[in-house]
Amino acid sequence: MGPVVKDHGRGDHDRPALSGASDLAGAAVLGGCAVWALVSAMGRLARPEGVLLAVLAVAAGYACGRIAGSLLPVAAATGAALAGLGLACTTTLNGLAGHEGLGAAQWTLATGSACCAAWAARQSVLRLALWALAVAITLTAAVGGSDADWLASGGVLVCALVAARLRQRLLGLVTLALIAAVAVGGCWAVAQDAVPGGLPPALRAQLTEHRIRLWQDAAHIAEASPVRGAGPDRFGELSRTAAQSAGPEATPHSAPLQLAADQGLPGVVLLGAAFGWMLYALWRSPRATPIVLTAAAALTALAIESSLGNALSFPQITAGAGLLAGLATARRLEAGTEP
């Protein structure tokens, strides 16, 4: 599988010296998300508990990833991959309806963790076994999952293999950030019916008319209250499309549009800041560039999935995203060093 990549190996020359700046930035961003959720809920029959739980899950996952990644980087990432695989298989077998994006997000995090474990392994035999695990996860998604599931898993696997050839991590991270921004902008354009030339029929059929109408309702709610939004977790009460749905429809199946409707423009900015903080922390990470870019690719895929579905509505996904970011930014404790 090629030469062994050590934790301070190739591609790290464009990374600044590690400091506590990324941790302070993360604390500020996550704290801002929690505070703004409470502010947008003040004086309304709103429910900010979901946002607070998501913030707590990200923080807890990130802290666990930093600790486990320092002590047992390969074992921790492998355990995360196996746990993600188990959750993904359970979701696929149960056929959870109305949870668009949940399965793809689980396959994405499982594949990303397995690939990070493979890059972190120092023995060739162990690395080969972990790459086989990553391939097995993708094949399982292809056999038992939907098209979105295996495309997400396969995309992360391909990006992980390509990451070995990239020496400039900053360029890779900026490219991934632009891809996520394009996905969010495309969702907003669809919601505003502002796609140049109209939305292609094949893509419209893939998104479904129901989801497009939910996006349009979210955009209208956001335009009516651009600063504070309508209040956390109130979309289901205010959306006409959700009210006409056969089952309970509490989200517009798009995290940026949901935050725009619930918390206004500041909520969307804070969501983007949270993603930007993770990429910034990865840029400053002491881990090898292939590990950093693999984790960034998985998180970018998760950002795209959350723009098209309701993946971030589940705490196991937000905790998993924080865990993966923590594993990829942890400083390994070498023998004889003080914690």
Q: Is 25 exposed, middle or buried (0-12, 13-18, 19+ CB in 10 A)?
A: middle
d(CA 199, CA 216): 14
User: How many residues comprise the chain?
Assistant: 339
pLDDT digits (tens, 9 = 90+) for 146-183: 888 899 999 999 999 999 888 889 999 999 999 999 99
More confident residue, 203 or 282: 282
Rounded to whole angstroms, what are the CA distances from 233 to 105, 188, 309?
Answer: 22, 20, 16
Nearest to 78 by CA among 39, 112, 44: 112
Residue 115, in any domain of the structure: yes
**pLDDT(96) > 70:** no
d(CA 58, CA 60): 6
pLDDT, residue 332, reads 78
How is residue 245 written in tokens? 């749905």
Taking the alpha carbons at both ends of the chain, their separation in whole angstroms is 32
Residue 2, in any domain of the structure: no
Q: What is the mean pLDDT of the chain?
A: 88
pLDDT digits (tens, 9 = 90+) for 231-274: 999 998 888 888 777 555 678 999 999 999 999 999 999 999 99
Q: Residue 272 in contact with residue 259, Cβ under 8 Å?
A: no
Residue with tokens 């497009």: 212
d(CA 219, CA 252): 10
- As a whole number, mean pLDDT of residues 58-72 equals 96
Residue 7, in any domain of the structure: no
- As a whole number, mean pLDDT of residues 60-66 equals 96
Residue 10, in any domain of the structure: no
Residue 195, in any domain of the structure: yes
Exposure of 17 in the CB half-sphere (CA atoms within 13 A): 1
pLDDT, residue 164, reads 86
- As a whole number, mean pLDDT of residues 95-122 equals 85
Residue 154, in any domain of the structure: yes
Q: Residue 114 in contact with residue 138, Cβ under 8 Å?
A: no
pLDDT, residue 38, reads 96
d(CA 220, CA 298): 31
**pLDDT(102) > 50:** yes
- As a whole number, mean pLDDT of residues 132-143 equals 95
d(CA 254, CA 309): 5
pTM of the predicted model as reported, rounded to 2 decimal places: 0.91
d(CA 40, CA 258): 13
Q: Specify the range with the lowest mean pLDDT, choosing from 59-63, 146-150, 224-228, 296-300.
A: 146-150
Q: How many domains is the chain built from? A: 1
Residue with tokens 């918390």: 263
Structural domain that includes position 158:
19-329
pLDDT, residue 63, reads 96
Apex 289 CA angle, 284 and 292, nearest 5:
65
Residue 25, in any domain of the structure: yes
What residues contact residue 326 under an 8 Å CB cut-off, 6+ apart?
61, 62, 63, 64, 65, 66, 67, 68, 69
State the alpha helices, DSSP H only, in 95-145.
Answer: 102-120, 124-144
d(CA 1, CA 186): 38
Residue 182, in any domain of the structure: yes
